[in-house]
Amino acid sequence: MIRIGAFLVGLFFSGWLLVSFGVGAAAYISEPPQPTAEHEFHLHPKKLALSSDGPMGKFDRQQLQRGFQVYKEVCSACHSMRLVAFRNLTELGYTEDEVKAIAANWPTQTPSIDPATGEPTTRPSIASDYIPSPHANETAARAANNNALPPDLSLITKARHGGAAYVYSLLTGYQEPPAELAKKFPDAMPGPGLNYNPYFANLNIAMANPLGSDGIVTYSDGTNATREQMAKDVAAFLVWTAEPTLEKRHQTGWAVLIFLIIATGLGYMAYRNVWAGVKH
């Protein structure tokens, strides 16, 4: 009984799947799916080598400080960094006094209002404050950005396929839309307020090119602030913001692995020793 029932159930599911396959395949052959603009013009991220890559990776603190400077002077105008507190910046190699100074120049909104004007008031941030967001809420952020919401950047390198390489490619990927795109997919051309960027999922990104020209920041360590360099530095910084514990993870990993390899080697010898003389 069980086998007859099973046979019928199997026949039904397999049979209907094969019928579905046949119908789908016929449709696929008679009307092959049209290639989309994303399929033809979207590019995978460029290669980006950072010192934090790989199992031995460590942060280049000089680079993180440069990246932080780019975030502070460029990105932070629109993008929040909710999960990073000023106190965390000591991990970039800043002293406590430097961190306090950075925080003091970055006002935090207070819950109270100015009794004279009714406007919200601010106070200088302290080290334990989180980096203040440029906009009070999502509505304000959209209102200031042509109805596009600038994503929070704290976790961005973990929240996108390609990670840091994606951020770097996107920042250096702005270009004129190719003539072929206008010819083949006129609908995929950037509309008003949108910019062509082949590294962005649907090719049209609301963010204007933030690193439009070389030298928009002046690095204190003398590094030449080319567009490439700034994009690389801020990508490296965003790897840190997404995972400040990365270095500790790598170091712990090696200690654990070395221990485990020795323990497993001993375990193997114990196993061979116990089984010596017993054929199996």
Partner 1 sequence: MSFSWAKHYEPKSDLTKWLDERLPLPRLVYGAIGGGYPVPRNLNYFWNFGVLAGIALTIQIVTGIIMAMHYAPNALVAFDSTEHIMRDVNWGWMLRYAHANGASFFFIVVYIHIFRGLYFSSYKAPREMIWLLGLVIFLLMMATAFMGYVLPWGQMSFWGAKVITGLFGAIPLVGEPIQQWLLGGFAPDNAALNRFFSLHYLLPFVIAGVVILHIWALHIPGSSNPTGVEVKQESDTVPFHPYYTAKDGFGLGVFLILFCSVLFFAPNALGHPDNYIPANPLSTPAHIVPEWYFWPFYAILRAFTFDFFIVPAKLLGVLAMFASILLLFFLPWLDRSPVRSGNYRPLFRTFFIILVLDVLLLGYLGGAPAEEPYVMLSQLASAYYFAHFLIILPIISKIEKPKPLPFSITESVLGKASSGTAGGPVLQPAE
Chain residues binding partner 1 by CB under 8 A are 2-3, 6-7, 9-11, 13-21, 23-25, 28, 33, 55, 82-83, 88, 151, 154-155, 158-161, 163, 201, 242-245, 248-250, 252-254, 256-257, 260-261, 263-264, 267-268, 270-271, 273-275, 278-280
Q: Is 280 annotated as a binding residue?
A: no
In the complex, what is the shortest distance from the CB of residue 107 to partner 1, in angstroms, rounded to a whole number? 23
Does the annotation flag 39 for ligand binding?
no
Q: The tokens of 134 are what? A: 């440029």
Q: Decide: 76 and 134 in contact? Cβ < 8 Å.
A: yes
Given the complex with partner 1, which of 24 and 212 has the nearer CB atom? 24
Neighbours of 150 (CB within 10 A): 19
Using the minimum distance from each CB to partner 1, give the nearer residue, 134 or 162: 162
- Which residue lies nearer to partner 1 by CB, 163 or 173? 163
**Residue 1, annotated ligand binder?**
no
Could you say which DSSP state residue 76 is in? Answer: G
Residues 71/78, Cβ–Cβ less than 8 Å: no
> CA 94, CA 96: separation in Å to the nearest integer?
7
CB nearer to partner 1: pick between 40 and 228: 40
Amino acid at 108: T
As measured in angstroms, the least distance from the Cβ of 17 to partner 1 is: 4
Contact indicator for 58, 92 with CB cutoff of 8 Å: no
C-beta of 126: minimal distance to partner 1 in Å? 17
C-beta neighbour count of 180 within 10 angstroms: 10
When the beta carbons of 224 and 271 are compared against partner 1, the nearer one is: 271
In the bound complex, what is the minimum distance in angstroms from residue 226's beta carbon to partner 1? 28
Tokens of 207: 């963010």
Closest to 243 in 3D by CA, of 88, 62, 73, 130: 88
The nearest distance, CB 12 to partner 1, in angstroms, is: 8
CB of 176 to partner 1, least distance (A): 26
Half-sphere exposure of 106 (CA within 13 A, CB side): 24
Distance CA 197, CA 43 (A): 9
Nearer to partner 1, 98 or 243 (CB): 243
75 marked ligand binding residue: yes
Taking a C-beta distance cutoff of 8 angstroms, is the pair 267, 191 a contact?
A: no
Contact 216, 235 (CB under 8 A): no
Binding-site residues for heme c, in ranges, read 75, 78-79, 207
Annotated binding site: 75, 78-79, 207
